Structure 1
Amino acid sequence: MIVRTFQASAAAGVLAALLLPAGAMAQQVDIGAPAPPPTAPEAPAANDTKKPATEAPAAAPTPARYRPNHLAHPRDTSPGSQIGDTQSAAPPGLFGDWRNSRTWLGARGVDVSARYASETAYNPTGGRRQAITETGQFDMGAKIDMGKLVGLEGGTLQATLTWRRGDNLSDVAGLGTLQQVQEVYGRGQTVRVTELWYEQKLGDAVEVKLGRTNPGSDFAVFSCHFQNLTFCGAQPGNLVGDYWQNWPVGQWGARLHVDVRRGVYVQAGVYEVNPLNLKNNFFVARWHGATGVLIPFEAGWTHGGDGGHVGSYKVGGWYTTANGTDVYRDINRRPIAITGLAPLEHSGRYGGYVSVQQQITGTSKDGKSLDGLGVFANFTQTDRATAVTDNQAVVGMFYKGLATWLPGDVLGVAFGRTNVNGRAADTDRLTPGKPVRDAEYAAELYYSVTPLPWLELQPNVQWIHHPGGVRSADEVVVLGLKGAITL
């Protein structure tokens, strides 16, 4: 473990040195997603995924001289602590100004941060056996304001390294769930370059972004405060993760964002689909192996500000040119379960989504909720020809300020349903001895506190009904603890 930690730190140092001019050393690198800016304790939000902003301000505001620049169009209005969102940037933390290095770098447009997020889980009931596991993510990042650094106004450069480690309770205890109970696990327990992208504003209404990124950072954006994957990140990645690859996977991609009028935007993007990105070894980028492209598009409306209740409303969809295999029919268009032949190939796949977040009570400032109740609802539908899990629906709420004497307290509750495609269920019926799958239901309750600006603790309890979509399977209860330390 010591060796791998050294490798992650060394790789980050090399990358940072390449990105900064001579003399701008002594940095580690801004962890998380490109959308929301680092702001400490707030109130909130696969398979693998990042925003209009409503997160609450830090318990101890970051000094202006090295406060990260806000991207023009953050698109997640979940009121929640950045520390616990494993798919967004964390605030400065334990070591504060790093012996004045953050101030020095910030004056030159370079914002740096690092964090370790941990998720522990234990299943008192359900699964093949009882077990306890811990898994986590260490990430380091740098966000560079190119206007301050080299005079290129409206330009932003983001570099992020991530290292995932640990064990997954869903596998160790044999829970058989469709969605992981520790969202931070997965996509290879390895060091990787998650982000290396450049974004440029063109006038007041247009932004262009390109480089190593992922679709969940810009489309169907949702934060990752819950520990169950059902309620974490861009929802399409939870269903079709073979080609929509969320955080921490990096893909070659580009996005065009246009503000139509105040609060209303449209955007479209294109991302490489490359199975080699999922290999469990360190690399900066893959230059071959692509099987197609993913083309997402989205329209949205965000509103609210000082004295108003903030909210965001998004509708979008996607099409991919990457081939997919049919879940029911073989190459002769007969049931696979009967013939045993190779499945029918489809030349394209598609889907759509809707996402709503709205603050109901409380106050807001500068487009961010400070306290009160917020609600959300997400729904995604994929094509039924190729997706085993074809839709997911989630509703939930966040309440910040339940106990005013506890710093950064957030109560989160969510309910979700992940559906197994009826055509995949038909294949189950034709397969001797295989249970017929239907839908998996999940719920999570958590309470998060931030006793120190750099520390967040979040106990939670999860309940999974019909794990794996199998009605005869025993219900699963998971007791969890999510924690995060920012450095």
Structure 2
Amino acid sequence: MRHSLIKHPLARVIVACLAFGTVAAHAQDASTSDTDSLANRKYLFGDWNGERTRLADKGITFDFGYGFQAAHNYSGGDRRLTRYTDQWKFGSAFDLEKLWGWSGATFKVVITDRNGRNLGADANIGNNQLIQEVYGRGQTWHLTIFALEQKFFDGRLTWKLGRLPVGEEINQFSCDFQNLTFCGAPPGNIVGDYWVNWPTSQWATVLKLNTTSDTFVQIAAYQVNPKYVDDSYARRNGWKPDFPSGTTGALIPLEFGWKPSVNGLPGSYRAGVWYNTSDGDDLYLNTDHQPLALAGGTALQHDSRRGAWVTFQQQFTGEAGGKGTTAFFNYTAADHATSATNSQVAVGVEYKGIFDRPNDFVGAAFGATHANGYAAKNQRLLNALNPEQARVINDGYEKVVEVFYSWSPIASVAIRPNLQYIKDPGGSKQNDNAFVLGLKTSVAF
């Protein structure tokens, strides 16, 4: 029985990670007298014999990392599969004040490479939100950040210009969970055809003003171009700092933020709105205001697309930024007429320092993503007219629960097994509920 379990693909991945963690832990034990011991290193390869620090003193820093996510569906879909996807990150920042005397200026470059397969698609689970959040936007190389940052007025005003993912600056949110419902800037989860999060970037400019020591306001403009979300285009050009033709408009988000300290514990509260100047197709009506499914023709055009969000994170117990409990709440809504997925809500909690291990933590979250009933009206008509080609009706909430334990045998490595339960995948009761065993791992080099 034990031998057959180890033959399971996901089990082999877990065993390999545990073996790596054990070796690393042994290395830690062997070097406890070293001031730069493996246990406390921020990076797996340490300080490169001091070279990393010397370069940082001159204004050059690095951010190299690797992460993979494996997942196996035990129910749901039509096949029992294990799928694996990963991402490499190669980043560097250049302090132009240290290098050239250019006061307050930094230039940052990040290139990423994604590989692997999507469990939800391969097993036909029907889910809306990715089971492996690191999958997507073309399994290839991406120019993720290529931007200049300039600070003014003693750092109160920051201006960024270049290639940026939207969620890098606007509606920032952590990505500790493996299901996309709880990862990254939430608007990208429901209007991802134009709100483009990591790893894809577009030409953008961002202005952020720190109005007080703990409040800020920022406004940005991002190029909207369908090529940025075209996988085939990404495979050919995703790594280039080019200016693709076919721009349809600009995404303009406005965000207000507050980062208070409550009883000495940090919090982050954000609220914002966005406006996309691009036209949007109506999901149900044609230009004559008749149902598309019945009358055909061209979809009614809306001259813009829009939405709003609130995001709250607050540590409630423990030590500031350390051991303790942190909770979060996200709510995002997009316009009804053009957004097939038009709202998402997520709540969750994390506890850091479990078993008195400073880098270990646990998390649990619940989220619901709503499939627009307006779009479902059109599909019902199409199914009635073409019953032999009937498709699943998505007109409710896809509900997701995820729990995980994050184990860090050494500071630079996190091994995070998780369980996901997806009820009504895609927002349809016609799809079987899915139970997924996942594994998310990250290494900082």
Cα shift at 1:135: 0.2
**2:392 alignment partner in structure 1:** 435
Cα shift at 1:336: 1.3
Q: Give the counterpart letter for 1:388 in structure 2.
A: A
C-alpha distance in 1, partners of 2:358/2:267? Answer: 24
- Correspondence 1:193 to 2:143: yes
SS at match of 1:431: helix
Q: 2:377 aligns with which of 426, 436, 440?
A: 426
SS at match of 1:451: coil
Q: Give the counterpart letter for 1:111 in structure 2.
A: T
**2:402 alignment partner in structure 1:** 444
List aligned pairs for 1:55-74, cutoff 5 A. Answer: none
C-alpha distance in 2, partners of 1:169/1:121? Answer: 7
C-alpha distance in 2, partners of 1:482/1:224? Answer: 11
Decide which structure has greater helix share. Answer: 2
**1:345 alignment partner in structure 2:** 301
Larger deviation, residues 373-382 vs 418-427: 418-427
Contact 1:162–1:192 under 8 Å retained in 2: yes
Spell out, residue by residue over 1:325-383, the C-alpha distance to the aligned partner (whole angstroms, 9 max, x if none).
1111112211112123221122211100001111110111xxxx111111000000101
C-alpha distance in 1, partners of 2:371/2:297? Answer: 22
List aligned pairs for 1:311-390, cutoff 5 A. Answer: 311-364=267-320, 369-390=321-342
Q: 2:236 aligns with which of 281, 284, 288?
A: 281
**Share of identical aligned residues, percent?**
41
**1:59 alignment partner in structure 2:** none
Cα shift at 1:144: 1.7
Please identify the structure whose Cα radius of gyration is greater. Answer: 2
List aligned pairs for 1:33-44, cutoff 5 A. Answer: none
> TM-score, normalised on structure 2?
0.86
SS at match of 2:408: strand
**1:158 alignment partner in structure 2:** 108
Q: 1:258 aligns with which of 201, 206, 209?
A: 209
SS at match of 2:181: helix
C-alpha distance in 1, partners of 2:91/2:51? Answer: 15
Spell out, residue by residue over 1:46-90, the C-alpha distance to the aligned partner (whole angstroms, 9 max, x if none).
xxxxxxxxxxxxxxxx98xxxxxxxxxxxxxxxxxxxxxxxxxxx
Spell out, residue by residue over 1:408-430, the C-alpha distance to the aligned partner (whole angstroms, 9 max, x if none).
11111110010011211212222
Cα shift at 1:113: 2.5
C-alpha distance in 2, partners of 1:196/1:430? Answer: 46
Cα shift at 1:281: 2.1
**2:197 alignment partner in structure 1:** 246
Q: Which runs of no fewer than 5 residues in structure 1 stay unpaired? A: 1-61, 64-90
C-alpha distance in 2, partners of 1:294/1:463? Answer: 33
Spell out, residue by residue over 1:86-128, the C-alpha distance to the aligned partner (whole angstroms, 9 max, x if none).
xxxxx85221112332122111111112111000000011111
- Correspondence 1:464 to 2:422: yes
Cα shift at 1:155: 1.5
Contact 2:346–2:365 under 8 Å retained in 1: yes
SS at match of 1:399: strand
Q: Give the counterpart letter for 1:98 in structure 2.
A: W
Cα shift at 1:392: 0.3
Taking only aligned residues, the RMSD between alpha carbons, in angstroms, comes to 1.8
C-alpha distance in 2, partners of 1:454/1:264? Answer: 32
Cα shift at 1:299: 0.6
The number of residues matched between the two structures is 395
> TM-score, normalised on structure 1?
0.78
Q: Which runs of no fewer than 5 residues in structure 2 stay unpaired? A: 1-34, 384-389
Q: 1:177 aligns with which of 127, 143, 146?
A: 127
**1:146 alignment partner in structure 2:** 96
